[in-house]
Structure 1
């Protein structure tokens, strides 16, 4: 049978094949996932922001010494750094081969840069200035070299002489960056002092951008309690070492740090060394929770290890994590846009996935080059349509052109309705157009408490301006009416009955409930009455506890988003946590008081401890309601009342123990301390018991399964 193929069929087949090769259809072949995180830390899947376009550096050759006309394969070996210059030409520090590989923008080899008169030794950093000068961190030779564009040696920078540098300091440059003044910023391997700053002549100008020492609570306690001699014997705590340094067209300096510290791994520094990132206290370097290996957390491996940074033409920061193999993109203010990538499978190479990423850089078209020192290649990525839309919209928003960014943000939301930066961009546009109610709702959806509060402040101000005359009239005439009615009914029978309402007989249960509120105002008399006059009851105490639990729920459900950004609550979890802590407190206090000469009975401790929590009901519920009329401008007032409530409860607990057990002030403080210690011991015992019980159950189950199978 013959198959006839006319020109129309051939043309359709050609179009189909071309369409399959277009970048827009490459998403189906992308081997990695792209994610972002909303303001609540939830993981959100995105379509790819970058797609791979190729691999370069795998086909390098050198002439055969025996036959110069024959080329020998000369793959990169343990490369450590990559730099893309203003002409989009690529320079790679090929550390294992002691050379710099120079390629054009397509990845075609142009030359190998070597220095025969003074050979490189494991160079780990390369930087090219606008004038074409090449700076090399020649790590093995403990020097930095300056070459001209032809590769001729101009200057050699070795360990500078200065009384401000310790004698034990080892000058091993790992990365180098040069600013517009030709000042050198050198990242020293193992150096905790920060970047070494040298002037164009190699004179030491100081250390720049040093990290802070990360001290644990235990370290802080040791510093308080140990003598100088004892603390000197401790292992010295040093700041983390800066891994890499970069700059942008505006002259800002960027550093990345890998180590055990979660914060300040990424910094954007001005010329004075101040960190400009507003989110300087947040952690950078993203990963999914399922990527964390608990068995390695002790060594700090569960923390992203940022190894390098690149800054694109729009000021966006791109960092690569050597631990989890993810690439994270942040805007110029440090806000997460998305992260993507992941580890390549063992024993295989997959385009887009990484084995051991060590460096990255971008060219003038914002194409991304990622260097892998295990695969000995460079992977090239290009922004997808989604990534381009996000970048376009975000640049408008960061520049303050909120309305201009509205259309591209809407396009982004059509691609992914859960993309938080898009929701935030549209919210800022609505705020700019004075659509405050829409802005408030979108700021809440995006999780931005500060701007949510600002939108509500504008709404509240407009409401007051529109209704001020009515509010003032009601207050004025209402006050006058109150005074008049008070004068007219001063001697009426109704007022007499109202004044004598407290003398009416009440049930014993209601009397006990009322005593709980009396104790809140007169704690000493109230707790003494609980102990020696039999006031209070289990029923009233349980009612108070249920009221406190209700107040906890009201706090979570009713409190304004400006002061509480919880999106969902677990009623069962709140119930369990509250009553477990409560019961542990009662049992621990009773045990300690029984041993420590306390006069209180279990009944007195139970009832008194419940009555001490009454302020949480009286203040907590109204405060949660009132918070919906407040903004963050009144946060000091809100915090004062909330903290005052907790202090009041603490004082009532203190007086309860003192009065019920007939303690002095010192004895009361000691009783509280021992009670808290007992609670801790009980918690540890329960945790160990639960673990052993689960292991025992698992053992019996496995034994039963083995008997059944046999």
Structure 2
């Protein structure tokens, strides 16, 4: 019995021990998982340009702090070649370290020519190392370096001998162009593009032997209006002093901050001082291919990936990825204020990526390289981009559909899927996907395809309808000649107008629009129209406004997130404010018109909207975005026609001259603003008063 109890106790002890160990292990794993979670969110951009959270794109991986056991002292630049060798330039060590694809040390480049190496660039056969202090480019044999571990200097390219970079001769009225090279890229022809500090003309372009060719890709200097005005009052000495002061403030000038090149020879630049359009993509002629809203201020490094996707990093620690057209794919990262959170950056100065789409960001303050690993979500996007760019549209479509399973709100996936459908001539599905992403240009292209197919299938029907209409028109003319159909129609309309004043006043719209000056006189002096009819016109305007939101092509009238009831309320509110404000202002400014006159005349002045907007709605459903000029023309006619009628409504109804009318319009608009603010304050205070009253009533009831 005793042995049995001891055996049971032993088993119980073992079970408890195992449970405790398992519990500790589980806790440890959870803690480890929590510690390795990304310390940042990932964002993308929706079709409206707003940043929204999305599936994680990159996770922080290893940190590289040394090469071959030697810690980095002051790493300046990082470069990854086509074979995934990593070149790290350390200025304090006068060394360029080389790591392999697994980030293991391979070799290093040191040379007597090095004084302050600042950056490198690697081609198929050569390694270019730029020295900041000596202002020289040292070109080494890449094959000897990687194969035989031999540092073989091929040539040294010094300061260009072109006169512009030389000191001016005595009596020559010019300044020496500063040559302070920092970064470089080399195209397939061997031409060298140098990013130099304080180079207002952009990149310095040299041929393969170092001869100056031209400047390239400079940012236009936009002088603020205040500076221009101030320069009018400065003497030449003061203006020269101000110019030198601005030149010393490099961060305020649009000097290029970094440069990159892709496989096709397009040059990419980034400018940290620019708020708008800091990232540019140039062809050989210097034309920028990117839109004007790409990037943010403080971007200081750029890299082009294997899918022509563009990576950029800002001094605030944020990392950006764009597609080849400049659309934002991902934004992640951030500033490390706690000195130790893996994935956040302190002073990022250089970015690169390898063939595995791993991102390498050099953090100079911490003397390390932070590696980021792409997630399956990101790999799927890159694969879809690659499939699409190589012409495998069906495969790319499958990839985009897979991506949407990760994140159904990822607009770029919908756009990519729409592009794939377009290549397959599946216009209906393409239109649907573009619509999900609210991509107007894509929807327009898809709609053009839908229209073409419809015309192809229904061309005979269209011609038949046209022929029938022509026949009916000719038949009407013949019958009218023998039976007087036009006169009969006019008699019927005349009888209806005699029986119904409202019907008569509604048809008066056409007479009013033909002769508006007589119309205003009739409204004011002859009491030609009633408040009832004017109210019907206002209701019809509201109905047309609703129809516009309901039936106009969403290429031209956005419908996502639009509350028609709220929009209609705003329209009624504005018209009501106008009628009241204009009457009040004119009443105290010797205006002759009554409130009824203002109410009726305003209604009839807005009637061009009733005539043209329905036509615009129809037009919007048969044209594409590229033909938007026809749609815009309709609104232009509405604006000019209505503005003309409103102006002369005030002038004739109240009997003002032109200058008085302009002044009355300004005062009416100001009164509308004051009344609007007053009503807004009343609404806010009434809400608070109701809350206070409810609290008092509740307190009384409870007591």
| Pairwise TM-score range, normalised by the shorter structure | 0.7 to 0.9
Quote how far apart the aligned CAs of 1:272 are.
1.4
Q: Distance in 2 between matches of 1:430 and 1:158?
A: 53
Alignment of 1:81 onto 2:84: no
Q: Is the 8 A contact 1:247 1:311 kept in 2?
A: yes
Aligned residue in 1 for 2:652: 659
Q: 1:27 to 1:484 in 2, by over 3 A?
A: farther
Aligned residue in 1 for 2:282: 269
Which has the larger Rg? 2
Deviations 1:126-182 (A, max 9, x none): 3334333332251xx372442535386953634865449962754443433233444
Q: 2:359 aligns with which of 362, 368, 372?
A: 368
Equivalent residues in 2 for 1:95-494, closer than 5 Å:
95=91, 97=92, 99-105=94-100, 106-108=102-104, 119-120=115-116, 124-138=118-132, 141=133, 143-148=135-140, 150=151, 154-155=155-156, 157-158=158-159, 162-163=163-164, 167=175, 169-214=177-222, 229=232, 240-262=254-276, 264-277=277-290, 280-281=291-292, 283-285=293-295, 303-323=296-316, 325-344=317-336, 346-477=337-468, 479-481=470-472, 483-484=474-475, 487-488=478-479, 491=483
Q: 1:145 to 1:481 in 2, by over 3 A?
A: closer
Deviations 1:570-603 (A, max 9, x none): 2354245434544554566556656766544454
Q: Is the 8 A contact 1:160 1:203 kept in 2?
A: yes
Q: Is the 8 A contact 1:100 1:112 kept in 2?
A: yes
Size of the alignment, in residue pairs? 640
Q: Distance in 1 between matches of 2:388 and 2:325?
A: 11
Quote how far apart the aligned CAs of 1:255 are.
0.6
Quote how far apart the aligned CAs of 1:387 are.
1.8
Deviations 1:219-259 (A, max 9, x none): 7xx97xx6983699998898622111011222211111223
Q: Distance in 1 between matches of 2:408 and 2:442?
A: 21
Q: Distance in 1 between matches of 2:504 and 2:136?
A: 85
Q: Distance in 1 between matches of 2:69 and 2:219?
A: 42
Q: Distance in 1 between matches of 2:390 and 2:108?
A: 42
Relative to structure 2, which stretch is displaced further, 166-175 or 522-531?
166-175
Q: Distance in 2 between matches of 1:602 and 1:151?
A: 93
Quote how far apart the aligned CAs of 1:556 are.
2.7
Q: Is the 8 A contact 2:60 2:372 kept in 1?
A: yes
Q: 1:610 to 1:356 in 2, by over 3 A?
A: farther
Q: 1:564 to 1:572 in 2, by over 3 A?
A: closer
Q: 1:592 to 1:533 in 2, by over 3 A?
A: same
Alignment of 1:564 onto 2:561: no
Aligned residue in 2 for 1:294: none
Q: Distance in 2 between matches of 1:197 and 1:363?
A: 27
Q: 1:43 to 1:685 in 2, by over 3 A?
A: closer
Aligned residue in 2 for 1:67: none
Q: 1:400 to 1:26 in 2, by over 3 A?
A: farther
Q: 1:530 to 1:666 in 2, by over 3 A?
A: same
Q: 1:452 to 1:190 in 2, by over 3 A?
A: same
Q: Distance in 1 between matches of 2:131 and 2:494?
A: 87
Quote how far apart the aligned CAs of 1:361 are.
0.7
Unpaired stretches in structure 2, ≥5 consecutive residues: 1-9, 142-150, 167-173, 247-251, 697-703
Relative to structure 2, which stretch is displaced further, 592-601 or 656-665?
592-601
Q: Is the 8 A contact 1:137 1:175 kept in 2?
A: no
CA RMSD of aligned residues (A): 4.4
Q: Secondary structure at the match of 2:62?
A: strand
Relative to structure 2, which stretch is displaced further, 390-399 or 568-577?
568-577
Aligned residue in 1 for 2:3: none
Aligned residue in 2 for 1:65: none
Quote how far apart the aligned CAs of 1:651 are.
1.5
Q: Is the 8 A contact 2:577 2:672 kept in 1?
A: no
Q: 2:625 aligns with which of 620, 624, 632?
A: 632
Unpaired stretches in structure 1, ≥5 consecutive residues: 63-73, 286-302, 705-710
Quote how far apart the aligned CAs of 1:108 are.
4.4
Q: Distance in 1 between matches of 2:233 and 2:574?
A: 38
Q: Is the 8 A contact 1:143 1:172 kept in 2?
A: yes
Relative to structure 2, which stretch is displaced further, 509-518 or 634-643?
509-518
Aligned residue in 1 for 2:567: 574
Quote how far apart the aligned CAs of 1:688 are.
12
Q: Is the 8 A contact 2:313 2:351 kept in 1?
A: yes
Q: TM-score, normalised by structure 2?
A: 0.78
Quote how far apart the aligned CAs of 1:204 are.
3.4
Q: Which has the higher helix share?
A: 2
Quote how far apart the aligned CAs of 1:54 are.
0.6
Aligned residue in 2 for 1:707: none
Q: 1:689 to 1:154 in 2, by over 3 A?
A: farther
Quote how far apart the aligned CAs of 1:330 are.
1.7
Q: 1:577 to 1:188 in 2, by over 3 A?
A: farther
Q: Distance in 2 between matches of 1:87 and 1:502?
A: 88
Q: 1:399 to 1:536 in 2, by over 3 A?
A: farther
Q: 1:45 to 1:623 in 2, by over 3 A?
A: same
Q: Distance in 2 between matches of 1:631 and 1:274?
A: 28
